[in-house]
Amino acid sequence: MFLVRLIYVSEFKTDKSSGELKNIIENSKLKNKELSITGILCADGDYYLQCLEGARDVINSLYGKIISDDRHKNVTLLEYTEVTERTFSNWYMNMIVFNATTDKLIFKYSVDENFNPYKFSAKTAFNFLKEVSLQNR
């Protein structure tokens, strides 16, 4: 089965202090490990930007669940592509915490200082996530 990479963006529906984010990330780490899914999740309180890597059928099935998850809304696909290797193979799911370094990267990849991944192209999103993950190793 092919390896694929999927990147999507969505909007928070629950308050960021609700503890829901912690649940999402903890469950994702466990479930992704079982399914050999790797990736990264950026969540700033307004938006999610997530990259998922794994077998095509597994990623398709997870994305189906994610789309209908009512903890977020306006799920928008940025990239779906076959890949020859994983980029985030060290993490079943790496949650990125925003800090001063991340802020600099947001500006590097955006038209202004605000994190709005709906304005990212697929390539920008991927490059941003790659660089952010290197800062959070």
Ligand X SMILES: Cc1cc2nc3c(=O)[nH]c(=O)nc-3n(C[C@H](O)[C@H](O)[C@H](O)COP(=O)(O)O)c2cc1C
Residues 131 and 121: their CA atoms lie apart, in Å, by: 15
72 forms part of the interface with ligand X (CB under 6 A) = yes
Residues 58 and 47: their CA atoms lie apart, in Å, by: 24
94 forms part of the interface with ligand X (CB under 6 A) = no
Binding mask 23-42 for ligand X (x = CB under 6 A): -x---x--xx--------x-
CB contact at 8 A, 34 and 58: no
71 forms part of the interface with ligand X (CB under 6 A) = yes
48 forms part of the interface with ligand X (CB under 6 A) = yes
CB of 49 or CB of 106, closer to ligand X: 49
CB contact at 8 A, 129 and 42: yes
CB of 110 to ligand X, least distance (A): 20
133 forms part of the interface with ligand X (CB under 6 A) = no
DSSP states of 113-131: SS--GGG--HHHHHHHHHH
51 forms part of the interface with ligand X (CB under 6 A) = no
Residues 54 and 12: their CA atoms lie apart, in Å, by: 25
User: Which residues are at the interface with ligand X (CB under 6 A)?
Assistant: 24, 28, 31-32, 41, 48, 50, 62, 65-66, 69, 71-72, 93
